[in-house]
């Protein structure tokens, strides 16, 4: 993802990229890679008690306590993402759609239902469509512990 984002910026195909990292693990690699890159805004929502315990600084980090359920998780996303798009005005979205937020993920530590996870993805896609933004989706971060 880092390489693709860099390529889009360098070739002028994107001027501002928003990385929406909703994998349960913080997008720590992405956060570090783009800390000095103002053309990439990194937004991560993740479990407070998940790897990595020492978090890096994304442009916007929101962490949730262990056991967080759909209502809080989704409302936080609904309250945050549209305003973020308006403010940062990205012309390209990268979406890390981790499914390890599910209650059924034993290591994930959040308790999101399958329906909630689907709503999350639909909401992100709706925002992309509504704002006419291209979106690249990947299923998980490259920084998972083995
Ligand atoms: Zn993960």
pLDDT in tens, 87-102: 999 999 999 999 999 9
Q: How confident is the model at residue 141 (pLDDT cuts 50, 70, 90)?
A: very low
CA–centroid distance, 12 to ligand 1, in Å, is 31
CA–centroid distance, 53 to ligand 1, in Å, is 13
Q: How confident is the model at residue 115 (pLDDT cuts 50, 70, 90)?
A: very high
Beta bridge partners of 46: 63
CA–centroid distance, 146 to ligand 1, in Å, is 11
Beta bridge partners of 42: 19
CA–centroid distance, 141 to ligand 1, in Å, is 6
- Measure the N-to-C terminal CA separation of the chain; round to a whole number of Å: 19
- Ligand 1 is an ion; its neighbours by CB within 5 Å are 23-25, 98, 100
CA–centroid distance, 11 to ligand 1, in Å, is 30
Query: pLDDT at residue 142 above 50?
Result: no
Q: How confident is the model at residue 140 (pLDDT cuts 50, 70, 90)?
A: low
CA–centroid distance, 98 to ligand 1, in Å, is 6
pTM of the model: 0.93
Place of tokens 């990194």: 42
CA–centroid distance, 25 to ligand 1, in Å, is 4
Burial class of residue 10 (count of CB atoms within 10 Å of its CB; 0-12, 13-18, 19+): exposed
The side-by-side arrangement of strands in the sheet containing 60-64 is 60-64, 40-47, 17-21, 92-96, 135-138
């Amino acid at each position: 993802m880092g390489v693709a984002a860099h390529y889009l910026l360098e070739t002028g195909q994107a001027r501002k990229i928003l990385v929406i990292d909703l994998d349960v693990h913080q997008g720590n690699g992405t956060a570090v890679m783009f800390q000095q890159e103002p053309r990439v805004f990194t937004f991560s929502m993740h479990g407070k008690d998940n790897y990595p315990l020492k978090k890096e600084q994304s442009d916007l980090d929101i962490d949730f306590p262990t056991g967080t359920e759909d209502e809080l998780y989704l409302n936080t996303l609904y309250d945050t993402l549209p305003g973020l798009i308006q403010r940062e005005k990205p012309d390209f979205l990268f979406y890390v759609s981790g499914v390890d937020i599910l209650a059924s993920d034993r290591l994930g530590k959040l308790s999101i239902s399958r329906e909630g996870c689907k709503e999350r993805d639909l909401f992100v896609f709706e925002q992309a469509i509504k704002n006419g933004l291209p979106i690249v989706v990947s299923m998980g971060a490259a920084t998972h512990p083995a």
